[in-house]
Amino acid sequence: MRDNSRDDSLSGPRDDVRDAQLERWYVVQTHQHCETLAEKHLSSQNLRTYLPKRCRTVRHARSVKTVCAAYFDGYLFVSLDIQRQRWTPINSTVGVRKLVMSDRRPIPVPYGIVEALIMATDEAGFLHPKDMFQPGKTIKVESGPFADHLGVLDYVGRSGAVRVLMDIMNRAVPIYIDRDKCLVLN
């Protein structure tokens, strides 16, 4: 039963904070080259979307053009509270193939992933991943034997491996791990 004796002016901001905590980012698979169209139609349904972009060079019939394209071809992100918002209409939105799901429920993106991508995105919506993995940034290891340990990013290799300096026994010890097992904290 709901307690109506509280002053509603005090409960308003708390509800907003609670609602923001319940919203999670989910992955939407789009039809080929329809990411912008899907984003437009999802936004018209009052859904918060995130579509990171990149410039890429296209060569065709002796002509070279630089075009704006989705950073993740065929995918974009949508923020939802699946307990309060209806998510099933997303699958029938123009440009959307499906919401990525498991056991007939959308799978949320792990906390911090989309937020880190947004932090590395400029005002025009272009993602700059090099801004995410810069030497000197604090890294949290997400999985493996050093899971949940913090370190300082020392080097980023081309193959996807990074060298992280971990403080072990008051010494900076270099550890080589995959880039996808790291989360940039600052």
- The mean pLDDT value of the chain amounts to 83
Across residues 82-104, what is the average pLDDT?
94
- Residues 17-46: tens digit of each pLDDT: 444 568 999 999 999 999 999 999 999 999
Whole-angstrom distance, CA of residue 73 vs CA of residue 107: 19
Termini Cα distance of the chain: 43
**pLDDT of amino acid 166:** 92
Q: Which superfamily, per CATH, for 17-132?
A: NusG, N-terminal domain (3.30.70.940)
| pLDDT-above-90 percentage for the chain | 41
**Which tokens in the block code for residue 109?**
């993106």
Higher model confidence: residue 32 or residue 159? 32
**47 CB-near residues (< 8 Å, 6+ apart):** 78, 79, 80, 85, 90
**Which tokens in the block code for residue 7?**
């002053």
Whole-angstrom distance, CA of residue 35 vs CA of residue 31: 7
- Residues 109-149: tens digit of each pLDDT: 988 888 888 888 888 888 877 667 778 888 888 888 888 88
Whole-angstrom distance, CA of residue 49 vs CA of residue 120: 16
- If pLDDT is split at 50, 70 and 90, which confidence band does 186 have? low
pTM above 0.85, yes or no: no
CA separation (Å) from 154 to 24, 161, 175, 180? 31, 11, 10, 16
- If pLDDT is split at 50, 70 and 90, which confidence band does 57 have? confident
Domain spans, the chain: 17-132, 133-186
**79 CB-near residues (< 8 Å, 6+ apart):** 23, 24, 25, 26, 47, 48, 49, 50
Q: What's the angle, vertex CA 19, arms to CA 15 and CA 23, rounded to 5?
A: 175
Question: 133-186 domain in CATH 3.40.1160.10?
Answer: no
